[in-house]
Amino acid sequence: MTPAFSLSRRHLLAGGTAVAGAALLGGCASGSDTTDSDEANRAVTLPAYVPYEGVKPDLASTDEAVMPGFLSYPKGDVTATEGKPLASGKPLTILTNTNVQLPPPLAQNKYWQAINEAAGAELQFTMATAADYTAKLTVVIAGDDLPEVVALRPIGDLPKLLEARFTNLTEHLSGDAIKKYPNLANIPTISWRSCIFNGGIYGIPLNRPAAAGEMHARLDVIKARGANPEPKSYAEFLEMCRTVNDPKRNRYAMGSPASTINFLKEMLGLPLGWGVDDAGKFTHVAEREEFKQILDAVSQQWNEGLFHPDSFTQETLLAQWVGTGVVAVNNGGAGSVSGYYTTYSANNPDMEMGILVPPKWDGGGDGTKLMGPAIYGGPIAITKTTPERLDEILSFFNWLASPFGTVEHRLLSYGVEGHDFDYQDGDPVRSQTGVREVTLPVNYTGSAPVVNFTPGRPETTKQYHAYQERCAKNKLAMATQGLYSPHPAVRRRGAGQEPDRRDQRRGHRAEEAGRLRCGAVLVPLRWRGHDQDRVPGSLRRHAVTNFV
């Protein structure tokens, strides 16, 4: 089966640049008067990292790219905090997003009631779905009545906004000062780097896995088709995809051209977006010769029909396609294997998930592993307030960050025992009531560091730990973490003119996927196609905003 339209390297870069670039630039900074400089930010002492020792993992973290692993859910009732964090009893107002359905209202939500009781005060959420959140955030910020806690995104001139309306937390969290809040001190250092602005710490990070993505694979599907689930080169990867592809049975090798491009970047040792050399010169991946090689490869894959035909129009179904075996491999969010088992194994007990290690393009070992910012969205900031209230709110964040296996984490993550969850073979498992209620976005307000744990599947935990340790040997850090490019500077630069560190004055914050929001406009003009073949506008916009 061939796709309804063909895709070439020129199509991937043509046409949508101006539209996508304008949309991206709308979210970047304007103006130049700011105290947020590279030198000032580099002078900040990051919070001390003090790993929590109250609950011991079975598999220790050996690198920032390796999460601590638990082969079973920790037994006992270990507590990580004392008393109620919001001791004054004053309600706390919060603006944040959710990636799941909105929860039942407080009066009909026993989980929310229990959270309020444990926190010591009512949590008053203003929430929006992830798709609508940036628009909601912009409207709220334009008003005069900000909530006390705000989950920020890279909108407008973020450094100026933070300086004017939010609290500089440096004296409370920098260096050893954070030890007053030991659960916050347990958050890995890499995540804090995305909270540095204006020469200070301006928020709390939502820790996420350090890897920018993982090529999730339905190993049972691949093996059933007689394909090699451990390709050692690009040629072997392509052969695997051709072998598993079966459009007549609605079975496809891959789900997303955009995410596959990132996997191929790892095969060639290319950066996620921007790369920087030893002299401090930045070069965007789209200007590398090898990137053209990747575009040609993905164009060939598309034209052979190796991708699901709805890849560009039904992105929200990618995980479902993998979970149900419609798609064999997809480069998705790091740490998702456990979720696949939790969601889909009940209907398919024989499913076997795995993660492909990127090989070098021509073979001869492993490729690089792209690292992201290890943070979701942006800093969770606190509006300016009194010292007493600030200490309460920081204590609240310390409570939200209670580590995996503690009593507090169990309540925050699973809800009320006997109502929202019950134990099955020693693991807490949500009931249908819990599935509905435990969607209150406390975990999008503050959270513990992520861990490697798949309920009832210790072998999966071991395999994932081994995968992370293997990838950590060849990791490639995100060069732009802690840097921000205001859009007038981006506009001034043409193809081949790259920023150096002195010009990158405002720490750019990446989205969870790790993409550069301002990078698309810098696709070299000489690569843009001008042939008469037309591709739907949605495809062109998707290609430009996601592929680079």
Per residue in 214-250, pLDDT (tens digit) is 999 999 999 999 999 999 999 999 999 999 999 999 9
Rounded Cα–Cα distance for residues 527 and 9 (Å): 9
Pairwise pLDDT comparison (99 vs 289), residue with the higher score: 289
- What beta strand segments (E) does 261-395 contain? 274-276, 282-284, 327-332, 353-356, 369-370, 380-382
350-365 mean pLDDT: 97
412, 117 in Cβ contact below 8 A?
no
201-209 mean pLDDT: 96
pLDDT band at residue 486, thresholds of 50, 70 and 90?
low
Rounded Cα–Cα distance for residues 66 and 340 (Å): 20
Question: Does the pLDDT value for residue 527 go beyond 50?
Answer: no
Give the pair of three-digit tokens for residue 181: 């809040």
Question: Does the pLDDT value for residue 541 go beyond 90?
Answer: no
pLDDT band at residue 509, thresholds of 50, 70 and 90?
very low
Question: Does the pLDDT value for residue 494 go beyond 60?
Answer: no
Q: What's the confidence (pLDDT) of residue 302?
A: 96
Q: Which domains does the chain have, with CATH numbers?
A: 89-209+376-450 (3.40.190.10), 213-267+274-370 (3.40.190.10)
28-51 mean pLDDT: 74
Q: What's the confidence (pLDDT) of residue 365?
A: 98
Give the pair of three-digit tokens for residue 493: 């630069």
pLDDT band at residue 335, thresholds of 50, 70 and 90?
confident
Question: Does the pLDDT value for residue 515 go beyond 60?
Answer: no
227, 64 in Cβ contact below 8 A?
no
> Which residue from 218, 434, 436 is spatially nearest to 325, judged by alpha carbons?
218
35-39, 98-102, 425-429: lowest mean pLDDT where? Answer: 35-39
Pairwise pLDDT comparison (535 vs 338), residue with the higher score: 338
pLDDT band at residue 155, thresholds of 50, 70 and 90?
confident
147-175 mean pLDDT: 94
59-63, 414-418, 527-531: lowest mean pLDDT where? Answer: 527-531
Rounded Cα–Cα distance for residues 319 and 336 (Å): 9
**What φ, ψ does residue 487 adopt, rounded to 5°?**
-65, -30
Rounded to the nearest integer, the mean pLDDT of the chain is: 84
Question: Does the pLDDT value for residue 493 go beyond 70?
Answer: no
- What beta strand segments (E) does 110-230 contain? 123-129, 149-151, 196-197, 200-201, 214-218
Q: What's the confidence (pLDDT) of residue 7?
A: 55
Pairwise pLDDT comparison (85 vs 30), residue with the higher score: 85
Burial-class residue 426 by CB neighbours within 10 Å (0-12, 13-18, 19+). Answer: exposed
How crowded is residue 206: how many other Cβ atoms within 10 Å of its Cβ?
Answer: 27
Q: What is the pLDDT of residues 368-384, one digit of tens each?
A: 999 999 999 999 999 99
The percent of residues in the chain predicted with pLDDT above 90, rounded, is 70
Question: Does the pLDDT value for residue 257 go beyond 60?
Answer: yes
Q: What's the confidence (pLDDT) of residue 61?
A: 95
Q: What's the confidence (pLDDT) of residue 482?
A: 75
Q: What is the pLDDT of residues 8-22, one digit of tens each?
A: 555 454 433 322 222
Distances (CA, A) of 185 to 52, 191, 402, 517: 8, 11, 11, 30
Give me the count of residues in the chain.
548
Q: What's the confidence (pLDDT) of residue 523?
A: 30
Q: What's the confidence (pLDDT) of residue 28?
A: 34
Question: Does the pLDDT value for residue 496 go beyond 90?
Answer: no
- Helices 17-25, 537-547: crossing angle, 10 deg rounding: 60
Give the pair of three-digit tokens for residue 165: 């309306």
Question: Does the pLDDT value for residue 321 go beyond 50?
Answer: yes
Question: Does the pLDDT value for residue 334 go beyond 90?
Answer: no
Q: What is the pLDDT of residues 422-432, one digit of tens each?
A: 999 999 989 99
130-154 mean pLDDT: 92
Kindly state the helix (H) or strand (E) to which residue 289 belongs, with its residue range: helix 289-303
Pairwise pLDDT comparison (191 vs 143), residue with the higher score: 191
